Amino acid sequence: MARLNLLADLIDEGTAPAANQPVEQGDRPHKVDRPFASTDKRPSRPTPQLGTITQTVDVLARAEEMQRQLSQGQTIVELDPADLDASFVPDRMAPSEEDHQELLRSIRDRGQIVPVLVRPHPTENGRYQIAFGHRRVRALKELSLKVKATVRNLTDEELVVAQGQENNARTNLSFIERARFAKQLEDRKFTREVISQSLCIDPGNLSRLISVASSIPLDIIDAIGPAPSIGQGRWMDLSASMDNRAHQKVRKAFTSDDFQRLSSDARFQFVLAQVKKTERAQTEAWTANDGLKVAKYTRGDKKFQLTLDEKLAPEFGNFLLAKLDSLYSEFRAQAHKSEE
């Protein structure tokens, strides 16, 4: 309709013939031998220039084609990086400074080769949201360059599927990056079917990813980083060994300068060693008043173990066993009293 209206405007705005110009054949009155035709002379309408109409049709056609290609993500446009916002779910963890500098050198020398994918921002007019290409956008912004991008109208589900699949195909996300991404998508109520499509994995592998990311607090995962050389098995080993005591011990280690200087893979090794050390409960000796070490005890998160030396204190075990009922009753009474 828009095209027809514009063409009609062109026709209406043409220049009328001068009064002394001969009347065109189409403007002459009807002949008498056409009795059913009106004999009233109709006002003449100017004839538009054919070139003007053709140019307008071409402009409209190009505009429509551009709009179609933009909606299908077939056209590359240049955008200001200041107008681009990150995806609502990050798929990558912070790259190393070395990797970032390498990307900067590559773009500075060869330019941006692969465009990023964005969608119009769902809530802010004039802005865009990145589906993939976050690292390239960061580098281009630092270099004060425009971002080559394809723009597509994407739903949230389409965005995360495109985001996950592109990164899987191009950059091979580490195990923990994929686990972290999957867990955050599930926290945002995306179905496991959508998450599986995004990461190109089957339901069984997806369950393992989410299980690991659920067992290890997010701040600990982020402190370790992507750990590109650490695979599924070792992350599952770490997640199985994590408990509240391990969390506290690991978090204390994060503040040390030595930890901050480690690579991401080395940070994982350090955390795993700390957790395993915590997991191995310390065994200590109990010394009686007479100086004999008649007992040893091991205190863990879930059990307390007492071992008696029968050689040094024969029958002491049976003596304690006979008194367990009264000792336990005394313990309960004392605990109840402290609660009041």
pLDDT on residue 1 = 42
Q: Do the domain assignments include residue 20?
A: no
Q: Do the domain assignments include residue 23?
A: no
184 in the same domain as 117: no
184 in the same domain as 274: yes
Task: Provide the number of structural domains found in the chain.
Answer: 4
pLDDT on residue 71 = 54
235 in the same domain as 275: yes
67 in the same domain as 1: yes
pLDDT on residue 7 = 32
Q: What is the mean pLDDT of residues 245-272?
A: 89
pLDDT one-digit tens code per residue, 125-160: 999 999 999 999 999 999 999 999 999 999 999 999
pLDDT on residue 281 = 60
- Give the confidence band of 22 by pLDDT, cuts at 50, 70, 90: very low
pTM of the model: 0.61
Q: What is the mean pLDDT of residues 181-210?
A: 95
Residue 5 has pLDDT above 50, yes or no: no
Q: Do the domain assignments include residue 102?
A: yes
Residue 198 has pLDDT above 50, yes or no: yes
The CATH number for 180's domain is 1.10.10
323 in the same domain as 276: no
pLDDT on residue 43 = 52
Final residue in a domain of this structure, among 53, 74, 95: 74
Final residue in a domain of this structure, among 160, 188, 207: 160
262 in the same domain as 221: yes
Residue 124 has pLDDT above 80, yes or no: yes
Q: Do the domain assignments include residue 26?
A: no
128 in the same domain as 113: yes
pLDDT on residue 167 = 76
Residue 14 has pLDDT above 50, yes or no: no
Final residue in a domain of this structure, among 122, 139, 160: 160
203 in the same domain as 138: no
Q: What is the mean pLDDT of residues 289-312?
A: 83
pLDDT on residue 143 = 96
Residue 87 has pLDDT above 90, yes or no: yes
Q: Do the domain assignments include residue 167?
A: no
153 in the same domain as 118: yes
Residue 214 has pLDDT above 90, yes or no: yes
Higher pLDDT, 29 or 119: 119
Least confident span in 32-41, 113-122, 303-312: 32-41
Query: What is the percentage of the chain residues whose pLDDT exceeds 90?
Result: 46
Q: Do the domain assignments include residue 339?
A: no
Residue 335 has pLDDT above 90, yes or no: no
Residue 70, domain extent? 1-14+45-74
Structure tokens at 248: 């506290």
What is the sign of the dihedral through the CA atoms of 26, 28, 31 and 32?
positive
193 in the same domain as 147: no
Residue 164 has pLDDT above 80, yes or no: yes
- Give the confidence band of 300 by pLDDT, cuts at 50, 70, 90: low
275 in the same domain as 208: yes
Residue 259 has pLDDT above 70, yes or no: yes
pLDDT on residue 276 = 82
Q: What is the mean pLDDT of residues 187-208?
A: 94
213 in the same domain as 196: yes
pLDDT one-digit tens code per residue, 29-61: 444 444 444 444 555 555 556 555 666 666 566
Q: Do the domain assignments include residue 263?
A: yes
pLDDT one-digit tens code per residue, 216-248: 999 999 999 999 999 999 999 999 888 887 888
Whole-number mean pLDDT of the chain? 80
Q: Do the domain assignments include residue 182?
A: yes
pLDDT on residue 25 = 41
Least confident span in 25-34, 62-71, 199-208: 25-34
